[in-house]
Amino acid sequence: MLIERRAAHPLLPVRIFRNRVRAGGYLALTLAMASMFAMFYFLTLFVQQILGYSPLRTGIAFLPFALGIVVTATVAGRAMTRIQPRIIAGIGTLLAAFSMAMFSRLSVDDSPAASALAATGGTTVGGNVSYWGQVFPYLIFMAVGMGMVLAGLTPASLHRLAPQDTGVGSGSGLFNAAQQLGGSVGLAVLSSVSLHFAGQRTEQVIGPITTALPGDPEAVGRALLQATFTEGVTHAFLVGSILLLLASLIVWTNNDERNCAEESASER
């Protein structure tokens, strides 16, 4: 960043971040993408490892999300002629946060006895979880929310952007970089959260599971996965919901137009 400030033609002009609306939009997008990318990762594993879906069936189960986000982003983009983008993005972050909060409430019988039984029987402990009742509705909420976020935050990346900085700040530049940064950092952070709570759960159940499955380390490993995975991912979903609430707070408060004349003058 220090080198970029001294460069005659910097790849990333620091002046890009002097506009509060624009900088806030990038930050909100980074937080939102951190949560959404992690949701994909953890929910995919949950559906396969705990619900017992095959990879093909899992892919089909996620198709409504892909369709929902495309349709919502298109509709929201057209609605911006009548509704402020900030309102669209703000509602979207709240919907996505609600979805993540509901995912954090997923519950299975992951007791040592049930986990050991599933490991020896080649089944999973997620038989009580209904895809249509406990996964699908909130997958749609997430799709609608993120579609609104992407559509609503796109104008923020171009807010009072000087013509020579359009390529840097638009979808091919910082807007896309914020998505990628949020996804990678968010997955790393939420994976750490998941592993922490799964580790705590492991300490609680490893004794009873080892006793129930003596002399079978492979079965013990499968049972531990069934007994600890849900504990880890639900806490990751909860933290993801908090990240989306922070993004929502930024969006709703990011409407300070004071000193716009000074900002525009400095960016020229």
Output the pLDDT for position 223. 97
DSSP state of 9: S
- pTM for the full model? 0.88
Listed in sequence order, the DSSP H helices in the chain are 2-6, 20-45, 55-79, 85-103, 112-121, 136-157, 166-169, 174-212, 217-253, 260-267
Q: Could you tell me the two tokens for 217?
A: 């380390």
Cα–Cα distances (Å) from 20 to 2, 16, 25, 148, in that order, read: 21, 10, 8, 21
**Spatial contact of 239 and 134, defined as CB atoms under 8 Å apart:** no
In angstroms, rounded to a whole number, what is the distance separating the alpha carbons of residues 53 and 43? 12
Residue pair 141/98 in contact by the 8 Å Cβ criterion: yes
The average pLDDT across 45-54 equals 96
Q: Return the H-helix or E-strand segment holding 151.
A: helix 136-157
**139, burial (CB in 10 Å: exposed 0-12, middle 13-18, buried 19+):** buried
What does the pLDDT look like over 59-80, one tens digit per residue?
Answer: 999 999 999 999 999 999 999 8
C-alpha 263/C-alpha 268 separation (Å) is 9
Q: What is the pLDDT of residues 210-263, one digit of tens each?
A: 999 998 999 999 999 999 999 999 999 999 999 999 999 999 998 754 444 444
**pLDDT at res. 260:** 43
First-residue to last-residue Cα distance in the chain: 19
